[in-house]
Amino acid sequence: MPAKIVNFTLNGRLTEVMVKPLMTLQTVLRAQLGYTATKAGCRQGGCGSCTVLVNGQPMMSCLLPVEDIEDQEVMTLEGLAQDGELHPLQKAFFEKFAIQCGYCTPGMLLVSKALLDQTPHPSRDEIVAALTANYCRCTGYEPIIQAVLATAQRNNGHGK
């Protein structure tokens, strides 16, 4: 089977790629399209650093053949800030020092966005449950949880 053309929406823009069979969304994003915010940590679905949103739902891009997302909407970290303005979650991560080395941050932000879109005022437990499969080896998680809580309290985590 030769290379195949796959169309999907990436951060609101129609995107067309030519891929080999079973090529992952992670590889296409990073190597083909240059969207390197999506990290390649374990490539086992274990670390969460490659998390992207597909139709608003967190998925591990390292486990996702890009052919499976034909006609779907993909959001990566590059799509979070709008018109040069940081997303409220990004501001809160910055303020609360929820970023140290930054490797887990793209996944953390996208899962947090998906959570706030579905549950605008999550409890602390709901935040912990949502982020449970995104590993951070720097912050100890507390500043990340605080950043999501702060965003929710400011009532501006929803939408955008």
Partner 1 sequence: MTAKAYYQPQSLDEATGLLAEHGLSLLVMAGGTLAMPLINEGISLPEKVMGLRRAGLNYLGKSNGNLAIGATTTLTQMLAQQEIPLLQEAARNVGGWAIRNMGTVGGNLFAPPPAGDFAVALLALDAQVKLVSKSGARIIPLSDFYTGFMATALMPGELVAEILVPEPKGITAYLKYGRRHANTPAVVTVAVHIQFEGERVNDARLALNAVGSHPFRARKAEQAMTGSRLDPKTLESVASIAMEESDPFTDAVASEWYRRKMVGIFVRRALQQIAV
Nearer to partner 1, 62 or 99 (CB): 62
Nearer to partner 1, 42 or 91 (CB): 42
**H or E stretch at 94:** helix 88-95
Q: For 77, which DSSP code?
A: G
Residue of 111, 144, 145, 148 that binds partner 1 (CB under 8 A) = 111
**Tokens representing residue 23 in the block:** 């090529």
Binding status of residue 75 toward partner 1 by CB under 8 A: no
Residue of 8, 10, 17, 23 that binds partner 1 (CB under 8 A) = 23
Neighbouring C-beta atoms of residue 157, cutoff 10 Å = 25
Specify whether the CB–CB gap between 93 and 104 falls below 8 A. no
Q: Which residues 113-152 are close enough to bind partner 1 by CB under 8 A?
A: 114, 129-130, 132-134
Binding status of residue 71 toward partner 1 by CB under 8 A: no
Q: Is 63 buried (19+), middle (13-18) or exposed (0-12) by CB count in 10 A? A: middle
What is the distance between the alpha carbons of residues 14 and 37, in angstroms, rounded to a whole number? 19
Binding status of residue 60 toward partner 1 by CB under 8 A: yes
For binding to partner 1 (CB under 8 A), which residues are involved?
Answer: 1, 20-24, 43-46, 48, 51, 54, 57-60, 62-65, 67-68, 111, 114, 129-130, 132-134
